[in-house]
Amino acid sequence: MTPHTNVPPARDLVVVGNGMVGQRLVEAVRERDPERRWRITVLGEESRAAYDRVALTSYLTGTTADELGLVPEGCYDEHCVLHLGDAAQDIDRVARTVTTASGRTVGYDALVLATGSVPFVPPVPGAGADGCFVYRTLDDLDKIRERAGRVGSGVVVGGGLLGLEAANALHSLGADTTVVEFAPRLMPAQVDQGGGEVLRRRIEGLGLTVRVATATERLEPLDDGGLRMVFADGDVLDTGMVVFSAGIRPRDGLARAAGLELGPRGGVAVDSGCRTSDPAVWAVGECAVVDGSGYGLVAPGYEMAEVVADRLLGGSATFGESDTSTKLKLLGVDVASFGDAHAATPDALEVVYADPVGGVYKKLVVTDDASQLLGGVLVGDASAYAALRTMVGEPLTDTPEQLLTAGPQVSGLDDAAQVCSCQNVTAGTIRAAIHDEACHDVAAVKGCTRAGTTCGSCVPLIKTLLAQSGAAASNALCEHFELSRAELFDVVRATGLRTFSEIIARHGSGRGCDICKPAVASILASLGTGHILDGEQATLQDTNDRFLANIQRNGTYSVVPRVPGGELTPEALITIGEVARDFGLYSKITGGQRIDLFGARVEQLPAIWRRLVDAGLESGHAYGKALRTVKSCVGSTWCRYGVQDSTSLAIMLETRYRGLRAPHKIKAGVSGCARECAEARSKDVGVIATENGWNLYVGGNGGFRPRHADLFASDLTTDRLVVLVDRLLMFYVRTADRLQRTAAWLEALGDEHGDGLAYLHRVLVDDDLTICADLDAAVQRHVGSYTDEWAAVLDDEEKLKRFVSFVNAPGTPDPSIRFVTERGQIRPTAADDDTAAPVTVAGPTLEVVRR
């Protein structure tokens, strides 16, 4: 007998579209429906699952498609099915079915249209020619990237939000970029004339060309594959590509064909519950029109998704007036608008602060008695945006002048105030996460509340709420030092202290620990205070640094000689082979163009080093938090695609920075052309050759969170490139946190200064901190004082004494170290090797011959 249950049989929900809003709807339904009363089928037209379109431009500056993905693990299962690459083509409202491009027919009890929008391409003759693109999907960006790699210039038609995003993308790809806008100012829907002028000057100052009040009459193909733009005023402009990013239009074709009611200017008409003229059909996001209004932002779309999810589960939620505030950073320029930005409210007053020299424009719109904030525009400095946005419609606690100059005070921010409009998260929700869920940093708050995970504009306010709650994370190095690593570095550099004992006595407490001791050791090494095994400094080192080799799982060590640029003479290669053979070592070519020799016992290390040093090889610092390698292709020397000599540059850079101690390991790469065979953009410092010089990228790395480096400067001469890399590495050494890779360091600079890349440019190029001369001199001191750490040990009797397995029996090898043979080489024994015949490798004489 079937047991009685009050749970009704599952019904079928079909969602057409798997963009940001469609995905949010699916998650909202699943969160509210633990009993799985709805079986969900999602039909996505793109081949990729939902991804973050707000951060679309970051795809061209290193963020991968996977990193942009929005689908949480476990979202889709037997109760919730996602079909990708199969667009819905027909809706039968009578039979309640949807038919797809592949012929699949899916029945529904409820249907939600989340079809989004399509880019608006002005009806310009020639707009469909080869070399014309739209800016909407990852596939669009792949096409734009490919074209930009072949042409040197591009034009973006449209100077609004989307247009400037596209211009940012072209600029990041190294193209000579022009923005063409029909309106008399940039971002006409968001900023006023004053803000538009400041924005224009800031963008032109970065090397872009801006043409406003300009209409494009036609496009003509050129013989070289480019395009000629003919403007209504008679001017012409030749370019390699054109990107149309002039706005969007609701994608309502399915609804139109199905006979659903549409809005007056297109879009699917819905009521306050987001239901269409058919009671079984809803619409959300950019395709929906509520009371005649469409919304091209993600926050209103998310709100619609929550409304429909509530309605599907029996609720009565309604869509109200959504927050249409926007904040973004375009080409390093902060731009924000919120509330009644254009002073449309009767009798509204405008209070303006303008600094043309500094490129800052701020405007607040207030009621006629200045008692209430209605809206505002911020250009050049939008640090107060998150707090000001929450104050719209509320009584002012400060004068407009104080708000513009000193910024708002958020200590009294009401719990109901919306901090994150994208995810509809209030100040109260964040405070509860801090106090009840022990969220003590921004990352934890993001994970708990979703605040700050979409556009990120509310992150500064989240930090303020954390600080006010007393939950801001300490930047102290450890319990023995209240200073951060960067602060401690400056103290040691300024005071000239050269031992850990002196440093902790003056600026710390206690005896130190395994956190602060290696950190101080790294600082001292970075400042060139002698060999890392000299005196007290030797006791501070981690195991690898203590023996200048990488310890492996069985207690043996690996030896990695430096091979700059991967270039190796036959004689050096023969020596490495002979050492591996004579000492019975496992040899492997690494991903960094070096040869790694595994299985050396500690007492063998000096003998191995002697053979390598005598052959002209030196330590590769594979054991240290230091420069590891500068990977290279063969470049123009051998490769038919190469445009610059990447090998010579890689060798020069690796030789210049060898031995440079840092908060974490540093890897670099130099590619001889845009084909990127050296994988330079996955490195902390990446260099890619161009026809005109070198492009410099910063902040990439592999590891747990792979990240492509960001473009920092384009078409550099070799001399200028070296200067910028000098400053970059030395600034990183001085300011990064302990064990912080350059990717995380760059991200932290962004959290602190708004845009990490722009801040680096101000420091390292514009010299805003007036430290460039000091950074240059520090690198020169490093280059002039470099010595090979292996050779220095071989020349020092005291240092050699530490390289023994047993202090009381210096010549005795450790009998616990055993190997088995696999594929003709040794490897450490493992738990499942009990039946294998172990191999003990003795190697040649252990006596070190000193010369």
Give the annotated binding-site residues for [4Fe-4S] cluster.
633, 639, 673, 677
Q: What CA–CA distance (Å, rounded) separates 367 from 689?
A: 56
Cβ–Cβ < 8 Å for 134, 243: yes
Q: What CA–CA distance (Å, rounded) separates 773 from 789?
A: 28
Q: What CA–CA distance (Å, rounded) separates 35 from 362?
A: 51
CA atoms within 13 Å, Cβ hemisphere of 50: 26
Output the CA–CA distances (angstroms, integers) from residue 155 to 53, 169, 228, 317, in the order listed: 21, 11, 10, 44
Helices (H), 596-717: 605-614, 635-638, 646-657
User: In the block, which residue shows the tokens 């690996």?
Assistant: 558
Q: What CA–CA distance (Å, rounded) separates 688 from 721?
A: 11
Tokens of residue 457, six digits: 């504009």
* Binding-site residue ranges: 633, 639, 673, 677
Q: What CA–CA distance (Å, rounded) separates 499 from 492?
A: 10
- CA-CA-CA-CA torsion sign (255, 256, 259, 260): positive
Residue type, 781: R
* Binding-site residue ranges for siroheme: 677
Q: What CA–CA distance (Å, rounded) separates 536 from 409?
A: 50
Cβ–Cβ < 8 Å for 152, 131: no
Burial of 807 (0-12, 13-18, 19+ CB in 10 A): exposed
DSSP track, 152-212: SEEEEE--SHHHHHHHHHHHHTT-EEEEE-SSSSSSTTTS-HHHHHHHHHHHHTTT-EEE-
Cβ–Cβ < 8 Å for 96, 228: no
**Helix H or strand E segment including 726:** helix 718-735
Torsion angles phi and psi, residue 92, rounded to 5: -105, 100
Closest CA to 716 of 682, 691, 699, 698: 691
Output the CA–CA distances (angstroms, integers) from residue 85 to 49, 88, 99, 142, 683, in the order listed: 9, 10, 13, 17, 34
b/e burial code for range 633-669 (CB count within 10 A of at least 16 → b): bbbbeebeebbbbbbbbbbbbbebbbbbbbbbbbbbb
Burial of 727 (0-12, 13-18, 19+ CB in 10 A): buried
Residue type, 736: A
Burial of 160 (0-12, 13-18, 19+ CB in 10 A): buried
Output the CA–CA distances (angstroms, integers) from residue 725 to 432, 522, 592, 743, 790, in the order listed: 44, 20, 19, 15, 26
Longest Cα–Cα distance of the chain, Å, equals 95
Cβ–Cβ < 8 Å for 483, 519: no
Output the CA–CA distances (angstroms, integers) from residue 800 to 395, 604, 609, 622, 791, in the order listed: 74, 11, 12, 20, 11
DSSP track, 458-496: THHHHHHHHHHTT-PPP--SBTTBSS-HHHHHHHHHHH-
Cβ–Cβ < 8 Å for 598, 585: yes
User: In the block, which residue shows the tokens 């191999």?
Assistant: 839
What is the DSSP code (8-state) at residue 613?
H
Q: What CA–CA distance (Å, rounded) separates 688 from 676?
A: 7
What is the DSSP code (8-state) at residue 438?
-
